[in-house]
Amino acid sequence: MEQFWKITLDLCVGFGETLKIFFITLAMALPLGLIISFGSMSKFKPLAFLTRGFVWIIRGTPLMLQLITVYYGPGLVFKQMLFTAPMAVYITFTINYACYFSEIYRGGIESITKGQYEAGQVLGMTRRETFFKVILLQVVKRIIAPMSNEIITLVKDTSLARVVTYYELIYFAQRYTKNAGLLWPLFYTAVYYLVFTAILTLLFRWLEKKLDYFKA
């Protein structure tokens, strides 16, 4: 029993590392995704083309492969590691998720009728004001469902970080298998993921309720 609590606490530390990936990725990928979505919708065709090509590559290849490329790639090319494991993880996750988010943003932004932009214009609002004061919240309301899917996937994708020696929850659990022949801590990690995704689910449901007061 004592061992159970000791391992539970130790795994909490591992889960802290998992959460670090989660929150850093989210904090950087949410705004970056918006910028990428602007790029992919740009009227300047070469920019739109390049952005969409980039998004296609990122979404079309496994995250694990991207992690390995960012972490080991520079070493192979320049004979010199460029990033520490955490840096490689944060960079790769951020870019990968920003690309997924950008497509969700794009769908949301393109679904807003042009009447909303035109109303802003004839009321003398700038395009920027119209976007941030009028369009954005309507987009947020429309993308909550696909966003929550993507964000819950991110929780579980963090486990891929261990392929570049980032010590996250699963890695912590596997140490018990290797060093003490204990298998249960590995399965026990599922509880951490489940509790956290349950919290996220409740959070998204709350947000959805909160925006229920208007139709868009």
Does the footprint of other proteins cover residue 116 (CB under 8 A)? yes
Closest to other proteins by CB, 114 vs 178, is 114
What is the Cα Rg of the chain in Å?
Answer: 21
Closest to other proteins by CB, 125 vs 200, is 125
DSSP 124: T
* Contact (Cβ atoms closer than 8 angstroms) between residue 115 and residue 178: no
Determine the interface stretch with other proteins among 20-28, 38-46, 103-111, 123-131 (rule: CB under 8 A): 123-131
Does the footprint of other proteins cover residue 209 (CB under 8 A)? no
Half-sphere exposure of 39 (CA within 13 A, CB side): 20
Does the footprint of other proteins cover residue 137 (CB under 8 A)? yes
* Contact (Cβ atoms closer than 8 angstroms) between residue 21 and residue 161: yes
Smallest separation (angstroms) from other proteins to the CB of 40: 25
Does the footprint of other proteins cover residue 121 (CB under 8 A)? yes
Q: Where on the chain is the footprint of other proteins (CB under 8 A)?
A: 113, 115-116, 118-125, 129, 133-134, 137-138, 141, 211, 213-216
